[in-house]
A and B are shown apart, each in its own frame.
Chain A
Amino acid sequence: AQKVTQAQTEISVVEKEDVTLDCVYETRDTTYYLFWYKQPPSGELVFLIRRNSFDEQNEISGRYSWNFQKSTSSFNFTITASQVVDSAVYFCALSVGANSKLTFGKGITLSVRP
């Protein structure tokens, strides 16, 4: 069975601070995919990134960056110079092998104050 743990439940920062959202996953499979989704106050789920288990390269997209470390089973998400519009719930998720059911973490509520 697979599991995703987002130990942080709520984070509050002041605008322009950097913030890292942690994600730890568990699976015995060697082929899997990791995801981050954003849920702004409007409620929709917005796809941010997908990473497969064979690609440990970190990725940067504007102010967003992701650090994938198989040695610690972690897939952490950093927002640099946070903005009020980054306020949302962020979910980390895992799918394993040919089974495309996503297992979600419980989410992290990020509040960015002006």
Chain B
Amino acid sequence: DIQMTQSPSSVSASVGDRVTITCRASQGISSWLAWYQQKPGKAPKLLIYAASSLQSGVPSRFSGSGSGTDFTLTISSLQPEDFATYYCQQANSFPTFGPGTKVDIK
């Protein structure tokens, strides 16, 4: 199995802040990586796929980068609706997810 780690596990931020979340794969996965946003009691929502492609309908303040083993999700200017937990998922082999990063209000 390819193991995924995320850092930090949680981050406190204010509206308007720039937030960066890191995801690392235990082996190279090229650009086979997605990011999801999950709010309490809701299903995850696909934000980014293929490491840097923005899913249709997702605001442009979300961006992804990276390849190989190291990836980042950046929210350029945090909005109130962005407080949520974010998961990365590798798609190089059978899907595995990172443990999540909770973004909460400072």
Asked if A and B are interacting partners, one says no
B-binding residues in A (CB < 8 A): none
